[in-house]
Amino acid sequence: MQSRRLLVVPLLAILALVAGCSDLSGTQGGAYVTGDGQIKVWPTAKRGEPVDLTGDTLDGGTWSAKDNRGKPVVVNVWWSNCGPCRKEMPMLQAAAADLEGKATFIGVNTRDNSADNGISFERSIGVSYPSLYSPDGAALLALPGLPRALPSTVVLDADGRIAATVSGQLPSKLTLTELVGCIADDQASDDCKVKS
């Protein structure tokens, strides 16, 4: 009887954890983990090596981070059935328009069963930048340890190194435009302060 009790307690703890993970705010039963909007910025000296993010886009083209060096790159990870992704996408599109010529935007569509779902979603929002199609999340292996939530945004510096992350839905368009502006200005990027 004692050994059964010892097994039941950890099992109940695991079940509670799993139930909590699949019922997080904003998931609408989607069994994915949403972030809390936390922003992390890495000082220039503490950024890792340039990332090798590459892949096929939703429309059948190809995209590579190596081909987009020289200015910041905003990488947004999304899924068409993710509520917070749907809510933030117009902010991303507005930021992409404001930062045209100053930053490159690329989406990474994960979990959609077909590229058509992603294309339809992007059309409904009016997204002007491409998205990699990575339903299995394999493209994310280029971003070591990141991202872990849907949606997530990663800002690469002009050298292709991870300079900042936003875990979860962006607080505002202004947050992203200020973050990218700060990272583009190497002198200020070690001291980035952004409004949420």
3-class secondary-structure state, position 155: strand
Residues 90-131 pLDDT 10s = 999 999 999 999 999 999 999 999 999 999 999 999 999 999
Confidence of residue 189 (pLDDT cuts 50, 70, 90): low
Give me the pLDDT at residue 195, please: 56
The structural domains of the chain, with segments of one domain joined by +, span 1-31, 33-191
Cβ–Cβ < 8 Å for 77, 141: no
In whole angstroms, what separates CA 140 from the centre of its chain?
9
pTM of the model: 0.81
**CATH number corresponding to 33-191:** 3.40.30.10
Residues 157 and 25: their CA atoms lie apart, in Å, by 31
CA atoms of 141 and 49, how far apart (whole Å): 14
Strand partners, 131: 107
Read off the pLDDT of residues 130-169 as tens digits, 9 standing for 90 and up. Answer: 999 999 989 999 998 776 789 999 999 999 999 999 999 9
d(C-alpha 117, C-alpha 1), whole Å? 52
CA pair distance 147, 153, nearest whole angstrom: 8
